[in-house]
Amino acid sequence: MFLWLLCLSIALCMILFKLKRRLLHRLASKIPGSDDELPFIGLAHKFTGTTEDILNSLQKYSYEAMKKNGILRGWLGHILYFIVVDPVDIEVLLKTSLEKDDLHRFIRNVIGNGGIFAPVPIWRRRRKIMVPAFSPKIVGTFMEIFSEQSEKLVTILSECAGKGEVTMEPYLCRYTLDSVCETTMGITINAQNNPDAPFLKALKNMLNLVCERIFHLWLQPEWLYKFFSQYTTHQKFLKEIQDFVDEVIQKKRREIKKEKYLKSEVDRNFGLSNYKTRSFLDLLIEFSGGENGYTDLELREEIITLTVAGTDTSAVSIGYTLKLLAMYPKVQDQLYQELLDVFGTSDRPIVKEDLSKLKYLERVVKESLRLFPPVPFIIRKVLKDILLPSGRILPAGSGAAISIWGLHRHPKYWGPDAEIFDPDRFLPERFDLKHACSYMPFSSGPRNCIGYQYALMSMKTALSAIVRRYKIIGEESGPVPQIKSKIDIMMKAVDDYKICLEKRIEYK
275 pLDDT more than 50: no
Q: State which of 208-212, 287-291, 390-394 shows the largest mean pLDDT.
A: 390-394
Question: Quick one: pLDDT at residue 507?
Answer: 56
Q: Chain centroid to CA 119: how far?
A: 18
Beta-carbon contacts of 63 under 8 Å, excluding residues fewer than 6 positions away, are: 406
The dihedral region occupied by 396, where left means phi > 0, alpha psi between -120 and 50, and beta the remainder, is beta
User: pLDDT class for 256, splitting at 50, 70, 90?
Assistant: confident
Q: Is a pLDDT exceeding 80 seen at residue 371?
A: yes
Question: Is residue 103 a contact partner of residue 215, using CB atoms and an 8 Å limit?
Answer: no
pLDDT-derived band at 18, boundaries 50, 70, 90:
low
**pLDDT of res. 195:** 86
For residue 273, the model assigns a pLDDT of 44
**Per-residue pLDDT tens over the stretch 118-176:** 899 999 999 999 999 999 999 999 999 999 999 999 999 999 888 889 999 999 999 99
Q: What is the mean pLDDT of the chain?
A: 89
Q: Are 413 and 352 in contact (CB under 8 A)?
A: no
Residue 264 is predicted with a pLDDT of 55
pLDDT tens-digit map of 279-330: 999 999 999 988 888 999 999 999 999 998 888 899 999 999 999 999 999 9
Examine the pLDDT at 48 and tell me if it is beyond 80.
Answer: yes
The whole-number average pLDDT for the span 76-88 is 93
**Residue 140: what pLDDT?**
93
- pLDDT for 6 equals 53
At residue 108, does pLDDT exceed 70? yes
Residue 372: the pLDDT is: 98
What's the confidence (pLDDT) of residue 272? 44
In this structure, are residues 380 and 402 in contact, taking their beta carbons and an 8 Å threshold?
yes
Cα of first residue to Cα of last residue in the chain, in angstroms, is 86
Position 462 scores a pLDDT of 98
CB < 8 Å & 24+ apart, contacts of 274-277: 275/138, 275/141, 276/141, 277/141
Who contacts 301 (Cβ-Cβ below 8 Å, separation ≥6)? 111, 112, 113, 114, 118
Mind giving me the DSSP string for 372-418?
A: S-SS-EEEEE--S-EE-TTS-EEPTT-EEEEEHHHHTT-HHHH-TTT
- The whole-number pLDDT of residue 257 equals 82
- Is the model's pLDDT at 353 over the cut of 70? yes
* Predicted local distance difference test score (pLDDT) of residue 271: 46
Model pLDDT, residue 30: 93
CB 224 within 8 A of CB 216: no
Element (DSSP H or E) covering residue 453? helix 452-469
Residues listed for the chain: 508
Please state at what angle helix 198-214 crosses helix 169-184, rounded to 10 degrees.
110
Each residue's pLDDT tens digit, 432-447? 888 889 999 999 999 9
Long-range contacts of 411-415 (CB under 8 A, 24+ apart): 411/66, 412/66, 413/87, 413/438, 414/438
Higher pLDDT residue, 189 or 17? 189
Cα–Cα distance measured from residue 304 to residue 481, given in angstroms and rounded to the nearest whole number: 34
Residue 414 has pLDDT above 80, yes or no: yes
- Domain 26-507 is found in CATH 1.10.630.10: yes
Dihedrals φ, ψ of 63, to 5°? -65, -35
Q: What is the pLDDT of residue 10?
A: 56
| Least confident segment among 13-27, 356-370, 384-398, 486-500 | 13-27
The answer to whether residue 263 scores a pLDDT higher than 70 is no
Q: How far is CA 86 from CA 96, 353, 433, in A?
A: 16, 37, 13
> Is the predicted pLDDT of residue 83 greater than 50, yes or no?
yes
Largest CA distance in the chain: 88
